[in-house]
Amino acid sequence: MRRTNNNAYIALAIVSIFWGTTYLASRIGVRHMHGITLAGIRQLMAGVLLIGFFLLRGYRLPEKMVLSKLFVIGALMLCGGNGLLTWAVKYIPSGLAAIIAATIPIWITIASYFLVQRTRFSWQLIAGMIIGFAGVAGIFYNYLSSLFNPQFQFGILIAFGSCIFWSLGSILTAKWALNVNYLFGAGFQMLFSGVIMVGIASPGRHLCLYQPDCCRVFGMDDPARASNLVDGLLLAGDHRGSISCKQRDQQAESCNESINIKIF
């Protein structure tokens, strides 16, 4: 019994370290590429590796109905949750993003009341939620001057939005209780969400993958060469056909002339 408890504490410590440093790593990553791009690469690679591991061990693909539900959960939790939060750290400190993410249990409680079962809130639960919100509001005291910055406001908005998406995905996960290995299922959620985010960030749509900083991440100074590598790694080529080398070079050159990413 003692050994089991020790293993649980060790596992908790490892998860806390890796989960906590995710925000710092995201903060560094968004300096070189868009947050949606970064989150898409991360989820896509993790999903491929995790699914491949289970397939090599003899696991069979889940049924279509299970896959469709994993798609919905992945879109909510990893696209709407992780993707938006990764984007948010472009505009707000990573520590503040982590604190906002800590309000997810509160959002789950509120959403569960409307979506699952309308149970009466006890005074202890209400008091806990108020204290939780008050704690987050108190932390914003150090950022009062930044609240007038439109970019900071945008970062706060999408950070709280990510919490709501994650909460909805968590509720559906518990409600559906899919009959699949949870790590195997997580792999499909990562794969689906990675494909969605990479699709959003693909060339010719909303986000530009060909920034000079992004190219240097891949060890290349030539944006055109880096774009070929990115497209190959992400499998994000448009199904309507590939563009010519001349068009790719022109696109890369135009992106070099602009520092800001055009989102909409």
Tell me the average pLDDT across 103-132: 82
Does residue 133 sit in helix, strand or coil?
helix
Q: Which domain holds residue 27?
A: 2-201
Domain total of the chain: 1
Contact status, residue 209 vs residue 33, Cβ threshold 8 Å: yes
The pTM of the full predicted model, rounded to 2 decimals, is 0.70
Lowest mean pLDDT among 6-15, 20-29, 167-176, 251-260: 251-260
**Residue 262 predicted with pLDDT over 90:** no
Closest C-alpha to 132, from 153, 150, 110, 114: 110
Tell me the average pLDDT across 23-30: 82
| CA gap 200, 166 in Å, rounded | 19
Tell me the average pLDDT across 227-256: 43
Residue 248 domain-assigned? Answer: no
- What is the pLDDT confidence band of residue 203, given thresholds at 50, 70 and 90? low
Residue 103 domain-assigned? Answer: yes
Residue 262 domain-assigned? Answer: no
| CA gap 246, 64 in Å, rounded | 42
For residue 21, the one-letter residue type is: T
Residue 220 domain-assigned? Answer: no
Burial tier of 217 (Cβ tally within 10 Å: 0-12, 13-18, 19+):
middle
Residue 95 domain-assigned? Answer: yes
**Residue 101 predicted with pLDDT over 70:** yes
**Mind listing the pLDDT tens digit for each residue in 141-195?**
777 778 788 999 999 999 999 999 999 999 999 888 888 999 999 999 999 999 9
Residue 31 domain-assigned? Answer: yes
Query: What pLDDT is recorded for position 43?
Result: 93
Tell me the average pLDDT across 16-30: 81
Query: What pLDDT is recorded for position 192?
Result: 96
Closest C-alpha to 196, from 67, 75, 72, 35: 75
Residue 155 domain-assigned? Answer: yes
- Compute the mean pLDDT over every residue in the chain, rounded to the nearest whole number: 77
Residue 235 domain-assigned? Answer: no
- What is the pLDDT confidence band of residue 4, given thresholds at 50, 70 and 90? low
**Residue 212 predicted with pLDDT over 50:** no
